[in-house]
Every structure is written in structure tokens, then in C-alpha cells.
Amino acid sequence: MNPLRRLAGQTAIYGLSSIVGRLINFLLVPLYTRVFLPGEYGVVTIMYTYVAVLLIVLTYGMETAYFRFSEQHPEQKNRVFSTTFLPILFTSTLFIFFVVIWRQSLAEVMRYPDNVEYIVWIGLIIGMDALAAIPFARLRAENKPLRFVVIRLAGIAVNISLVLFLLLLCPWLMENAGDTVRQYVAYIYKPEIGVGYVFIANLIASAITLLLLSPVMRQARIKPDPVLLRKMLIYALPLLVAGLAGWINEALDKLLLKFILPEETAMSQVGIYGAVYKLSIMMTIFIQAFRFAAEPFFFAQAKQQDAKNTYAKVMNYFVIACLVIFLGITLFMDVVKHFIGPQYHEGLIVVPILLLANLFLGIYFNLSIWYKLTGKTYYGAWFSVVGAVITILLNLWWIPIVGYYGSAWATFICYLLLAILSYLFGQRHYKIPYQVIRILLMISFAVLIFLVSFFTTGMPTTLMYVVHLLLLGLFLFVTIVTDPTLRSANKIFRAR
């Protein structure tokens, strides 16, 4: 099968779990932003910020290392899997142990001294999700996207069902059901737990996901190979540094908002920023789906003679897809905004900035293939550290002045810089014929269309939507007409 067609197909399959999961979670945002006050929703935002960074620490770059070394040693895939999975099993178990032991101290440091249970629940979620990372990676490496998707969707279904049960059905039953039903519901539902039910639902879903992955985990029967493990860690540890720095670029702004802004307004601002961040969900979904499919694809494709041309084509298609998402959200913001409560609408101004920031993050991911293929992963670490420093400095400068608006601009500048750095160094070490001018023109054209849409303000709603649809159609028409590969897409994706 043509590699681009295979990549598109697997992106669609992986995207199913990402789209369903993220979309359902996105559809829960109206619930969260109406059930919880901005300050309460800020707790959810902050807790999942901690989840993101600790998952990076507990997987320490071994996912990518697994892809690389399983491709290099196809005859020893079980040994590579065991050497990857068993160390993560050990460190995840150790992490959970220390979280439980030090839960009170951690709760005080994190400013939740009255909610120690949050710390334990989040610690268990992190440990189990880290443990699931390598079994999921094995399914991806072995081209088993359907099994991957089924397991992911099962966990998602459990999570969402429990959230709806605990936050909607149980309160309704307590108010409207008979005494007998209320008595039974009272055994499992305590209103004072509040946002804690979001974590409880996630915890149960993570446990079930791990159970479904147990057949894959049982394949780790061989003892870790110390020599192989050393090589994998040397390769992976720079990716850990890059991942941590990447987390700083992506999520530290929410923690800085909490600790820099006045205490009486901080959690409300975090809640608003976290809610409007969700409006860029379609861009995030696509990038995540693409990453699931692209990372093993890039490593496998490296053996082909025309690999570099393939990477360049992939970049073009990726950027076009992201720009369609950008315009689809920004041109119809009047519709999209209703997915969050009215008290969160003041933050809508930062959504276009965050969408463009995510676009450049996706571009950076595409560009980063050069240092992963050449084994020079320390470049990724350096790039991310530079981005992290800039993110911290800009947030420290701008948050006291303009709050989360400054955080959004800092995110955009950081990802733009990372993309530029990776491109410049990549062309020196692993030159790929990216169509840079064309990509920049496409981005500029999309931004111009977005700016033109401001002139429709004041039009009747129906007419405005028609004009915006025409603007979106204009972007697609110009893109297709000016790109010969898109004009003959049926030939590109046709099986050989």
C-alpha cells in the first residue's frame, strides 16, 4: 500500500479513539462549566496539569525509544518490549507508593490541605496511565490500530459514563426520586466531593484500561537486557528533558497563573483559561491522532529511498488539515462559544492565538523527525529547554500585566520559535525538501481570511454564516488549485 495512504488510514483509525474521547470530554465542558464555578473548574485544570508533567517523567522517553529499537531489532521484539516495560512497571509502582506515603505533605505543598484524597486519586491515575503507555505503544508498533482503539474507547466509555452518573444522575435522583432510591444513592454519592468525582471516574477508567491491556503486558516475560536498556536510556533521556521542557511550554502557564495572580482571582482565571483552551480541541485531536500514527510510520518509512520526499508531502497535508480546523473554529466562534458557560466567554479572545500555537506545535512535531532518526535526540532537549526558558520569562513578564492573555501569546511565540529552530538545524543534519514558502503562504492566507471575517460583524446571523462558509470554501479552493499533489490526490493515495 502507498505509505501516504497507509498513514492517512491509520491516522483516521487512531483518530477515532482520540476524536471520540476528546469530543466527548469536550461535550462535558458545558456540564463542567455549568456545574462548577470557574474556581472549582480551575482545580480540575490544575490537577490535570500535574498529570501531564508526571506522565512525562514516569515514561521518560521510552515510548519513542521502543519504536526506534523495535525497528532496529525486529527479531528481538519481545526482548525490546520487556526491556522497555519492566523498568516502567518498577518506577510507576514506586511512584504510587511514595504518593500514598507522602500524601499529606504533597497536599499542603499543592495548596489542597483539606483534600488529601485528590492527591491519592491523581497519583493512582498517573501510575496506571504510565504503566499503560508501553503496551499501547506495542499495539501501535505492531500495526494493530483496531485493538488499540477498542481498548481506548472502552476506557473512555467508562470514564464518561461515570461522570454523567455522578454529576448528573445522582444529584437528580437525590432531588426527585423516592426515599428508598435516595437512601441507596446516598451510599455512593456525597455532594461535598464535588470536582473529586471527575478524578474518581478517571481512576476507575484507568484501572479498567490497564486490565484490558493485561494480555499485552504479560508478553514481558524476558528479563530486561541491561546492555539494551542502557542504550535505550541514552537515547530516551534527552527526550525526557525535551518532554519536560515541552510541558513547561504547554502547561506551566496554568500553574503560574495560580501562583502569580492574586489568590482571590487566580483559580477563577485558571478556570476560564482552561475552559477556553478546550475550544481548540479539534486541532488537538487531529495532532494527537496524527502523532499516534506518524511516529511509528516515520521510523518505518526511513528505510525507503524516497523517505524525505514523503516527509515533505506529509508536512503539506498536515498544515492544510490544521488550517481548515483553525478556520472552522474561528469563523464559527459564535456557535462554538456555547460549549462553555457564559461566565467563561470573556476568555474567547485567546482561542485564535491558541489554535495557531497548536498549529506550530504540530509543525514542530513533524520537523522533529530528523533528530529522532539520526539519534541526535539531545537537540530536541536543547530546543525544548530554550522554549521553556522563553515561556517562563514571558509568562512572568506578561501574567501580572494581562493575565491569561499573556500566557496565550507566550505559548504561540514558544511554539513558533521551536519550529524555526528545528527546521534550521534539521536542514543541516537531515535535509528534507519542505515547501517552506508554500506553507508560510497557506498560513498567511488562512490568517488573512480570519481577519477579513471581522468585517462581517453586524451582519444578520444567517448571512454572516453564509459568508463565513464561502470564506472557508475559498481557502479550500485556492489550496487545491495551487497544489498539484492535491489536484491528483486520487493518484497519490492509490495502492501500488
Among residues 433, 377, 419, the alpha carbon closest in space to that of 64 is found at: 377
Domain boundary among 224, 246, 261: 224
Torsion sign over Cα 253, 254, 260, 262: positive
Residue 54 lies in a domain: yes
450 & 487 share domain = yes
Could you identify the residue written with the cell 454572516?
Answer: 464
54 & 30 share domain = no
- Using 50, 70 and 90 to split pLDDT, how confident is the model at 419? very high
Mean pLDDT, residues 130-135 taken together: 93
Could you identify the residue written with the cell 497563573?
Answer: 257
Mean pLDDT, residues 192-218 taken together: 92
Residue 326 lies in a domain: yes
Residue 48 lies in a domain: yes
- Using 50, 70 and 90 to split pLDDT, how confident is the model at 31? confident
Query: Rounded to 5 degrees, what angle do the CA atoms 315, 321, 324 make?
Result: 140
17 & 56 share domain = no
Torsion sign over Cα 210, 214, 219, 221: positive
Q: Where are the beta strands (DSSP E) in 13-148?
A: none
Domain boundary among 193, 224, 255: 224
Mean pLDDT, residues 351-371 taken together: 91
Domain boundary among 173, 199, 224: 224
Q: What is the pLDDT of residues 427-454, one digit of tens each?
A: 988 888 999 999 999 999 999 999 999 9
Q: Name the residue range of residue 81's domain.
A: 36-224
Q: What is the pLDDT of residues 382-397, one digit of tens each?
A: 888 888 899 999 999 9
Give the pLDDT score at 492: 46
181 & 99 share domain = yes
In sequence order, what DSSP letters do the residues of 207-237 get, joined into one string? HHHHHHTHHHHTT--SPP-HHHHHHHHHHHH
297 & 218 share domain = no
More confident residue, 49 or 93: 93
Residue 282 lies in a domain: yes
211 & 333 share domain = no
165 & 200 share domain = yes
Q: What percent of the chain has pLDDT over 90?
A: 33
- Using 50, 70 and 90 to split pLDDT, how confident is the model at 194? confident
More confident residue, 106 or 24: 106
How many structural domains comprise the chain? Answer: 2
170 & 42 share domain = yes
132 & 257 share domain = no
315 & 435 share domain = yes
Residue 232 lies in a domain: no
Residue 229 lies in a domain: no
pTM, to two decimals: 0.70
Q: What is the pLDDT of residues 306-334, one digit of tens each?
A: 888 888 888 998 999 999 999 999 999 88
Give the pLDDT score at 19: 60
206 & 260 share domain = no
Residue 233 lies in a domain: no
For residues 359 and 322, the answer to whether their CB atoms sit within 8 Å is yes
280 & 349 share domain = yes
Which of 70-84, 207-221, 241-255, 476-490 has maximum average pLDDT?
A: 207-221
Question: Cell triple for residue 446?
Answer: 488562512
- Using 50, 70 and 90 to split pLDDT, how confident is the model at 467? very high
